[in-house]
Amino acid sequence: GDPATGLYDAAANAPDGDPAHGALRAFLAKRGATTVGRAVPDEVKTEFLRLAARRYFETIAAAIRRHDPNHLLLGCRFAGLNSAHRVVWEEAGKTCDVVTFNQYPWADLDENAVYLWRDSRVKVADAFAETHAWVKKPMLVTEWSFIALDSGLPCTGGYGQRFRTQGERVQAAELFSKTLFAMPFMIGGD
């Protein structure tokens, strides 16, 4: 569903005995509602999403810290910047030591610029800075790649922009790496 409302809608459509449905019922009861329905303002649905994200991150963080208190909590590894609503990113930043995510960018070697994806005009640096303003924690790209078609392998599966040659692939990787490390809040890219 929609990043802001999908979790609410799924919980509202779940059977009465489902834990998500019960959590939604309790959430709405605190707001004076006696029935669970889909016809509520999107702001209420987003508030439920925030509550669920907070509970998730706090529960996971408490369990990890209980068993391993001396290491950084690297977050949940979001599947790209557009994979979750802003409130989920904000809640991750409140609990995690480092916020982690995958991002398969688009390197334009002619422009010497890296964009979020093909046909996007949003530069990676701008998008990462906006996300950092939400999380207020160091960030780490945990997965990215560029693929060269001259490797002798099929190169038809997986994610990542394809380049004709290994040389172009190296240029793209260098450009992305330099872009990452120019941002003071980025601690790396795997």
Amino acid 20: pLDDT? 93
Amino acid 171: pLDDT? 98
Contact 85, 51 (CB under 8 A): no
Mean pLDDT of 136-158: 90
d(CA 182, CA 176): 10
Amino acid 34: pLDDT? 73
Cite the DSSP H helix spans in the chain: 6-13, 19-29, 42-67, 86-95, 124-135, 166-181
Amino acid 38: pLDDT? 67
Give tens-digit pLDDT for 67-100: 999 999 999 999 999 999 999 999 999 999 999 9
Amino acid 155: pLDDT? 78
Question: Cα–Cα distances in Å, from 60 out to 3, 23, 41, 84, 92?
Answer: 21, 18, 29, 18, 11
DSSP code, position 150: G
46 has a pLDDT exceeding 70: yes
36 has a pLDDT exceeding 90: no
157 has a pLDDT exceeding 90: no
pTM: 0.91
